[in-house]
Chain A
Amino acid sequence: MKNQFYILKGLGVALFLLFNLGCLYAKTNPDKTAIVSSDSAQTKKMLTIEGHIRDGATKLPLLGAKVQSKNQKYSAITDENGFFSISVPNYSSSLYVSATDYSFIEYSLQGKSKIDVSLYGVLPPLHEQSALTVDGQIQSILASDVRVINHSGAPAIGASMFIRGYNSLNVNSQPLIVLDGVVLDNQNDRASIHQGFLLNRLSNISVDDIESVQVIKDGTALYGSKGGNGVLLINTKRGKDPVTQITVSSMFGYSEKPKTTPLMNASQYRVYASNLYKGVIPDKYISLQPFLNDNPSYYDYLRYHNENNWSDNVYQNGATQSYNVNVSGGDNVALYNLSMGYAKSNSTLIANDFTRFNTRFNSDVELSKQFKFSFDLGYSQTNRNLRDDGFSESSTDLITSPSVLAMVKSPLLIPYEYSNSGKVTSDLSDADAFDIANPLSIIKNGIGLNSQNYLTISVRPQYSFTKELKLCALVNYSLNNMFEKYFQPNAGVPSFISSNGDYLNSHVKGQNSKQISMSTNVYLNWNKEINIHAFNVTGGFRYFNDTYQGEYASGYNTPTDLSPNLTKDLINRHTTGYDDSWRSLSWYANAEYSLRSKYFLTAVVSADASSRFGKDADLLKVAGLRWGIFPSINAAWLVSSENFMKDISLINTLKLRFSYGLSGNDNIPTSSSTTYFSSIQYLKTYTGLTLSNIGNTTLKPETVEKSNLGIDLNVLSNRLSLSADIYHHITNDLLALRQLSYLSGLDTYWSNEGKLQNNGIEFSVNAKLITLKNFQWELGGSIAHYKNKILELPGGDYTTSIYGGEVKTMVGQPAGVFYGYKTLGVFADTKEATAANLKISNSMGTGYSTFAAGDMHFANLYNDKNNNNIIDEKDKTIIGDPNPDFTGSFNTRFVYKNLSLTALFTYSYGNDVYNYVRSQLESGSDFINQSSALQNRWVSEGQQTSIPRSSFGDVMGNSRFSDRWIEDGSYLRLKSLTLSYDVPVKSTFLSGFTIWASANNLLTFTKYLGADPEFSISNSVLYQGIDAGLLPQGRSCFVGLKLNL
């Protein structure tokens, strides 16, 4: 303790010195600068450069183009003939050339004193105007940098994002989101009570408020133990200009009902279901089944004799609207940007919608030359109506998702009752004889709510001691409140018997939570150029404090559907809660150095401590804490600025980049390093205390070692730009859940072990193909490839059961591979089946059942004396890999005068999908409606088909997890097609007017049999590539307008 005190004291003294030296420096510095500048004025040798700047398209000279040195100390402007002359220090290697409405370029001097520069008109920025959330934008703009997979077609549902493969296996693998310099916890490890819905805090932010999104893939050491999965820097709009600017934008959209899987029609279902009864009940009863009772006077005849397409009852055409007003302006003391927005989107699934109200105020105040501060405030409220979406993970759960019910419910039924006179009434019918709920009852009588309030307040004071030295701070407070409610009605839904014999009908769930995040960042920045040397050094301290508190309760059997509330009278009640706190501390330093603006070197180091680390972790121990140290180094060489390049006129810019560094992943589940007791319920009114966790005190963050080699190349007068990267990542100390010895009485503990590797390449290209005065054509594309491989697993290989399938984690294999049975087709006849003579042990464990004609022929990969012809666990093998060979996007843009047309394609190639939906709709084992493919099921001896016979309960396991359900999920999608027109306006109050129209998902090329090849049921690595039937993304179109006042 005493030691720690001294260390702390030392630390304090060090800090004290640091800041006081800063002040001291501030005092003395002006004299020093004066000397340096007078010195430089005398000693600097100046170089005069003359040149000519013209429009690349028209070849006409440009008037008023700006030419600057890199530090903006020296500048010149072209005359009416496009000529300029500028004097710069003789070590200058490049000039920045820019002009209004033209794209800016960095021109490499290469020792030349006369230059000729062509500038090309800038095209309006490419972005997904119809997106409600930033994930949609990221997908279209940054497809080569981030692999973005939309969760589903639900509005503002969000996406799984992966930067450069999977850098973690069992804990969060999503990038760190830094919003206006503040780390945003995206609640990846929190769950909603609504099936198929994933929490997405980015949906609280309006796309209209976003100024820029930037991806940091390497050199993330600055974010230390938080940057292992890469970083997304998102900045919101700020006031730039004192002139008051008002922008009003609005958008209207229409989404088409999504494509659904073709299902059996009523007559096909009738045959299927009656076949399924054979052997289950005596034949004499089969014809008495209501749907087979064809006597029109039978009281239930009408109910079971319809032809219904249930998807018409649950899907609709969706509508979206969004409005946003943005006001910016100020004076020479303060600048501000104020925005307000409202968006509402009705999903294509009836009863599902999303509403957002948001407002944000960003201000920058310059109180004096030395002291500035910013004050930001953002508030948003989102409300969603939801119903369960997609299949639930256990196939024995009651189906309550209207979209799934629309697939599985018999087409013989309709959602409404018939009156005695045979007319369809408006009364909703109850669950049917097949024990399947009426989806419309869940839609109409059910409840599903998620509402969130998000408030963020940031203050950023900044004090400049001198021009070069400043002290900055950022203090943020954020609050995220969430309220969720779920009610599954009794009406129209079958009741079921729980494991303890209770009849359960209606089901209520409620959850509310509150997350408060506070963070501080204090740093000193020193920025200085000394002749050919430029320095930019930052050192600081960050502190994060988060709490997440919440409560959950559920129960069954409300008195009526009219009181859908949690009360003490419910049965099978379950309650739980959360109270998690975590804090972390980080010291960091970032030093950038450039020589002649040609050679660049950046060194970064951060030292992080966290409440999540174990107190005995194998990390540096200082001041009583364990610190993870994350250094990195970046080097770049602007080759094109070298003199020897001057004869290669083809190349305008050539830059080589190299980086190596460590970053980490500190998403160690909270409290997993603590041994604790928690309270349990003993009988009705008593509580007890029991040991519930044995903490691993050696837990530390995962460490990701990243190296990257990159090249940027601009050629042909900057008309063709290329960028390529090759990287190698290794994640050490993977966090894994391990089995505790049973002597402890507890199940698992978290541990650091295992090693993972990601190698990959990324390539992007952009070409200005045609650059005429009134017509431009640009083409851009990107391709990204990663190869993920598990290098070490000290605890051995293991499988994880997900959606009835198995995902194998195994050394030498990529993460997430599917592990199951291989199939060799269906036994066409008894001869084939007898020859194979394969069998399985029966469910009672009392004997064996033999595969017969019409059963699947599973590959018997393991055979020995004791396991003769038996299909069991040992015959499983790797049957698919959800990792794509490559992903990316390409776009093409045509601009004619004020009219522009943009097409954006995204693609994924070589990824396998486990089509869980098909495994249910082609199982042929239950009375749920089946895919129309089942018309080809085996029915008679000798029939050649790929679909086995149907049999109730699937005794032989024909529908078990096998390569039958693994498909190629490759696709190419015309993600969006946008036409935009800048209306030429000449008005005193209207300075700009743009109207646009856009269509999404117009075309999708894929062999995938499911409704949509793009889906992600979870952000977790092991859940990728598993299609649980979430709402497919369908076609949609939008029109919008934007007014600048």
Chain B
Amino acid sequence: MKKIYVQFIVIAICSLFVITSCQDMLNVDSGRYSTVDKNGLSSANDSVNSIFGLLRGMQKVGERYKLLGEMRGDLLDVTTYTPADIRQLSDFKVDSTNAYANPRDYYAIINNCNYFISRTGASGSALKTENAVAHAIRTWTYMQIATNWGKVYYFTKPLLTVNDTKENYPVLDINQLTDSLIADLEPFADAIYPNYGTINSFKTSDLLLPVKVLLGDLYLWHGRSISDYEKAATYYAQFIDSKMPPTDPANPTSNLTSSPSIEWNITNFQRKNFETAYPSDNWSFLTGTANSSNDQIIEFASAIQMATTISDGIVCNIPNHIEYFGASSVVNKLWSIQNYTLHYIPDVKKPTEFTNYTNIGDARAKGNSVLLRMQTTVPGTTNITKYIDFSALYKLWVADHILLYRMGLIYLRYAEAVNRAGHPNTAFAVLKYGLNPKSFLDSTIIPIDERELSYVSKFNNPKYTNIIGIHARGCGDAQYDAAYKPDITLDPTTAVEDLICDELALETSFEGNRFGDLVRMAMRRNDNDFLAKRIASKHEGSEYGRIYGILSSDKNNWFLPEPK
């Protein structure tokens, strides 16, 4: 009897092993992570989390967007305090151990995008709108790699195994890449983004990259035909138009006060603007996202929002190390040789117009630098302090967030596209006069045959009445400055493009786009000298020759080395 009982127990123990499969016995789980099987991205909640994951990926490269885009350009220079890694960028001496030389964080964004796209791309997926967001982020990131490293490894499948990471993926240069990216992104040209409301004072739309601007950029880089440039111009124009506040059809001029009219006159310095000349008047995300009656909202297009404290996330450290950066002699000279024009009618009864120039140069110079006094303690002491005076770059000093696109930049990109589409006059009008109904009245400003182009005619609308030329933003009443004109010794397209290139420097210096702009123009012209001369000019003495030699001899030298 007892034996049977024991036998029963034994059999019961055996059955335990039989019932539970061995595999189940070794299945483990963790509340700290989610496996691929679990992260199926089938619900809206999952997708929101993943989009925030992508945005955080962008935060990780935010600082680099500025540093790589500007240190290697002609406008931002090093100071005596600049550490070696940043100095190497400026000197085109980047070695593979440089902290900025590895594109890993960029590919992390791409891999996460790939995963997201692969899980939400099916037709009928409830997450189609999020899918467009991921396509846009992937496009932007690939373009960042291409402009900084000269080429990309192009893959659209998520790398989820060690073997995936060891496969060979096609290497594309910028031209080949734009082919792929245009095909990838164009279907989403009219996609409507999801709206997550306001995130720490940033509207959702300010955080997600505008597809039309990205498409405009892609066609501008692609630039193999007139039609490419026309497409680029169309996308930029569509975006600008969408940002302009709609006017009341019954009273077309009613809403004009909220049109963008950024002018860099002296009074403007005192006004709170996205870049002000007054240090205590910080540019903050609030400026860009203030209520819609504020004119500044229209200038702002897209940014990477950074955390304010490291408890909250990734912080942009550029403002904490403002002493690393200084304006280059190139940009200082460029600002100083501009005419600041004042046009006025002193007596209303005797309407004689006067045009005067002042010698202050471009007003944007003042908006970009401020004298700071830094107090440091002598090492090993607490009671001996040293003061270091230096000219800090205001745009960097207030760069708590990473601005990616604003209207000034988009107008200039539009001008670049229109110019290459064969319409240098209209392009020049963007700089000097502004595309507004008034300009359309003058055929010397906008030729008659160009007015009906779909990407130009949009601006012949009362809502653009207050739009001024981009050059006028820093140079006063530029439309009256007879000296401000394209170089007539060059062909008109080249001459206008030179002016656009200068205007990008005057208007968008230190914002992160400089190096890419120079590369694009130099590649389009197939003229290494164009880039080499400008960048080398930042350096003095023998360094000018060395850097000119490096950059003019081989396009490959423009880019960061491939890490081992």
List 14 other contacts, CB 8 Å, given A20-B11, A500-B309.
Answer: A23-B6, A281-B384, A433-B381, A580-B30, A611-B27, A674-B35, A678-B34, A682-B313, A686-B52, A690-B54, A694-B161, A745-B105, A745-B110, A745-B111
Please tell me if A522 contacts chain B, counting CB pairs below 8 Å.
Answer: yes
Known: A23-B10, A680-B56. A579 touches B31 (CB 8 A): yes
Q: Are B107 and A745 in contact (CB under 8 A)?
A: yes
Smallest CB separation, A772 vs chain B (Å): 57
Question: Could you show 27 A-B contacts with beta carbons less than 8 Å apart?
Answer: A8-B21, A16-B18, A20-B7, A23-B7, A277-B380, A280-B379, A370-B6, A434-B381, A463-B6, A500-B310, A541-B17, A571-B309, A611-B26, A611-B28, A671-B33, A674-B33, A676-B35, A680-B53, A683-B199, A694-B164, A742-B563, A745-B104, A745-B108, A745-B112, A746-B104, A843-B84, A844-B87
Chain A 902-927, CB-CB to B under 8 Å as 1, else 0, gives 00000000000000000000000011
Please tell me if B32 contacts chain A, counting CB pairs below 8 Å.
Answer: yes
Known: A742-B102, A845-B84. A583 touches B53 (CB 8 A): no
Smallest CB separation, A527 vs chain B (Å): 19
Chain B, range 42-92, C-beta contacts under 8 Å to A: 46, 49-57, 59, 82-84, 87-88
Q: Are A688 and B310 in contact (CB under 8 A)?
A: no
Q: Are A742 and B162 in contact (CB under 8 A)?
A: no
Count of residues in B whose CB is under 8 Å from the partner chain:
88
CB-nearest residue of chain A to B20: A8
Please tell me if A411 contacts chain B, counting CB pairs below 8 Å.
Answer: no
Complex Cα spacing A276 to B378, Å: 12
Q: Are B22 and A743 in contact (CB under 8 A)?
A: no
Please tell me if A559 contacts chain B, counting CB pairs below 8 Å.
Answer: no
Please tell me if B25 contacts chain A, counting CB pairs below 8 Å.
Answer: yes
Please tell me if B522 contacts chain A, counting CB pairs below 8 Å.
Answer: no
Q: Are B165 and A740 in contact (CB under 8 A)?
A: yes
Complex Cα spacing A696 to B6, Å: 45
Q: Are B312 and A9 in contact (CB under 8 A)?
A: no
Smallest CB separation, B77 vs chain A (Å): 14
Complex Cα spacing A549 to B49, Å: 24
Q: Are A741 and B320 in contact (CB under 8 A)?
A: no
Complex Cα spacing A994 to B320, Å: 69
Known: A692-B33, A745-B108. A683 touches B7 (CB 8 A): no
Please tell me if A952 contacts chain B, counting CB pairs below 8 Å.
Answer: yes
Q: Which residues on the A side are within 8 Å of B161 (C-beta)?
A: 675, 694-695, 697
Complex Cα spacing A704 to B26, Å: 24
CB-nearest residue of chain A to B378: A281
Complex Cα spacing A692 to B32, Å: 11
Complex Cα spacing A68 to B162, Å: 63
Which listed residue (A623, A745, A926) contacts B23, Cβ 8 A? A623
Q: Which residues on the A side are within 8 Å of B311 (C-beta)?
A: 555, 570-574
Chain A 578-589, CB-CB to B under 8 Å as 1, else 0, gives 111111110000
Which listed residue (A15, A23, A743, A952) contacts B165, Cβ 8 A? A743
CB-nearest residue of chain B to A750: B162
Which listed residue (A583, A624, A927) contacts B21, Cβ 8 A? A624
Known: A281-B378, A611-B26, A744-B159. A844 touches B53 (CB 8 A): no
Q: Which residues on the A side are within 8 Å of B313 (C-beta)?
A: 681-684
Please tell me if B484 contacts chain A, counting CB pairs below 8 Å.
Answer: no
Complex Cα spacing A697 to B164, Å: 12
Smallest CB separation, A995 vs chain B (Å): 51
Smallest CB separation, A348 vs chain B (Å): 31
Complex Cα spacing A631 to B54, Å: 49
Please tell me if A420 contacts chain B, counting CB pairs below 8 Å.
Answer: no
Smallest CB separation, A906 vs chain B (Å): 42
Q: Are B36 and A582 in contact (CB under 8 A)?
A: no
Please tell me if A499 contacts chain B, counting CB pairs below 8 Å.
Answer: yes
CB-nearest residue of chain A to B316: A500
Q: Which residues on the A side are within 8 Å of B166 (C-beta)?
A: 741
Complex Cα spacing A625 to B25, Å: 10
Complex Cα spacing A689 to B43, Å: 13
Q: Which residues on the A side are within 8 Å of B307 (C-beta)?
A: 683-684
Complex Cα spacing A684 to B198, Å: 13
Known: A435-B382, A623-B21, A674-B35. A581 touches B28 (CB 8 A): yes
Complex Cα spacing A927 to B378, Å: 12
Q: Which residues on the B side are within 8 Å of A682 (C-beta)?
A: 52-53, 55-56, 59, 313
Chain A, range 576-614, C-beta contacts under 8 Å to B: 577-585, 609-611
Q: Are A583 and B26 in contact (CB under 8 A)?
A: yes
Please tell me if B383 contacts chain A, counting CB pairs below 8 Å.
Answer: yes
Which listed residue (B23, B39, B53, B106) contacts A625, Cβ 8 A? B23
Complex Cα spacing A690 to B161, Å: 15
Please tell me if A780 contacts chain B, counting CB pairs below 8 Å.
Answer: no
Complex Cα spacing A694 to B161, Å: 6
Q: Which residues on the A side are within 8 Å of B153 (C-beta)?
A: 743
Please tell me if B244 contacts chain A, counting CB pairs below 8 Å.
Answer: no
Q: Are A742 and B49 in contact (CB under 8 A)?
A: no
Please tell me if B292 contacts chain A, counting CB pairs below 8 Å.
Answer: no
CB-nearest residue of chain A to B317: A500
Chain A 687-726, CB-CB to B under 8 Å as 1, else 0, gives 1111111111110000000000000000000000000000
Q: Which residues on the A side are within 8 Å of B540 (C-beta)?
A: none
Smallest CB separation, B312 vs chain A (Å): 4
Q: Which residues on the A side are within 8 Å of B26 (C-beta)?
A: 583-585, 609-611, 625
Complex Cα spacing A698 to B166, Å: 14
Please tell me if A332 contacts chain B, counting CB pairs below 8 Å.
Answer: no
Which listed residue (A5, A572, A678, A684) contacts B200, Cβ 8 A? A684
Q: Are A694 and B160 in contact (CB under 8 A)?
A: yes
Known: A11-B18, A744-B159, A844-B87. A19 touches B56 (CB 8 A): no
Complex Cα spacing A288 to B384, Å: 10
Which listed residue (B3, B33, B111, B382) contacts A743, Cβ 8 A? B111
Known: A583-B25, A743-B159. A9 touches B33 (CB 8 A): no
Q: Are B53 and A581 in contact (CB under 8 A)?
A: no
Q: Which residues on the B side are within 8 Å of A749 (C-beta)?
A: 162
Q: Which residues on the B side are within 8 Å of A751 (C-beta)?
A: 162
Smallest CB separation, B551 vs chain A (Å): 19
Please tell me if B315 contacts chain A, counting CB pairs below 8 Å.
Answer: yes
Q: Which residues on the B side are within 8 Å of A23 (C-beta)?
A: 3, 6-7, 10
Please tell me if A953 contacts chain B, counting CB pairs below 8 Å.
Answer: yes
Please tell me if A285 contacts chain B, counting CB pairs below 8 Å.
Answer: yes
Q: Are A499 and B320 in contact (CB under 8 A)?
A: yes
Q: Are A435 and B380 in contact (CB under 8 A)?
A: yes
Q: Are B109 and A688 in contact (CB under 8 A)?
A: no
Q: Which residues on the A side are within 8 Å of B51 (C-beta)?
A: 688
Q: Which residues on the A side are within 8 Å of B183 (C-beta)?
A: none
Please tell me if B155 contacts chain A, counting CB pairs below 8 Å.
Answer: yes
Complex Cα spacing A12 to B16, Å: 9
Known: A23-B3, A577-B32, A609-B22. A688 touches B108 (CB 8 A): no
Q: Are B53 and A743 in contact (CB under 8 A)?
A: no
Smallest CB separation, A754 vs chain B (Å): 16
Complex Cα spacing A9 to B19, Å: 9
Please tell me if A27 contacts chain B, counting CB pairs below 8 Å.
Answer: yes
Q: Which residues on the B side are within 8 Å of A16 (C-beta)?
A: 11, 14, 18
Q: Which residues on the A side are within 8 Å of B106 (C-beta)?
A: 745
Q: Which residues on the A side are within 8 Å of B82 (C-beta)?
A: 844
Please tell me if A898 contacts chain B, counting CB pairs below 8 Å.
Answer: no
Known: A19-B10, A289-B381, A522-B13. A743 touches B320 (CB 8 A): no
Smallest CB separation, B53 vs chain A (Å): 4
Which listed residue (A522, A690, A698, A845) contacts B56, Cβ 8 A? A690
Which listed residue (A4, A742, A926) contacts B104, Cβ 8 A? A742
Of all A-B residue pairs in the complex, the 7 with the closest CB atoms, nearest first, are: A745-B108, A12-B18, A688-B52, A688-B53, A690-B53, A573-B311, A845-B84
Please tell me if B369 contacts chain A, counting CB pairs below 8 Å.
Answer: no
The residue among B18, B57, B112 with the most chain A CB atoms within 10 A of its own CB is: B18
Q: Which residues on the A side are within 8 Å of B164 (C-beta)?
A: 694, 744
Q: Are B33 and A677 in contact (CB under 8 A)?
A: yes
Q: Which residues on the A side are within 8 Å of B15 (C-beta)?
A: 12
Please tell me if B103 contacts chain A, counting CB pairs below 8 Å.
Answer: yes
Please tell me if A526 contacts chain B, counting CB pairs below 8 Å.
Answer: no
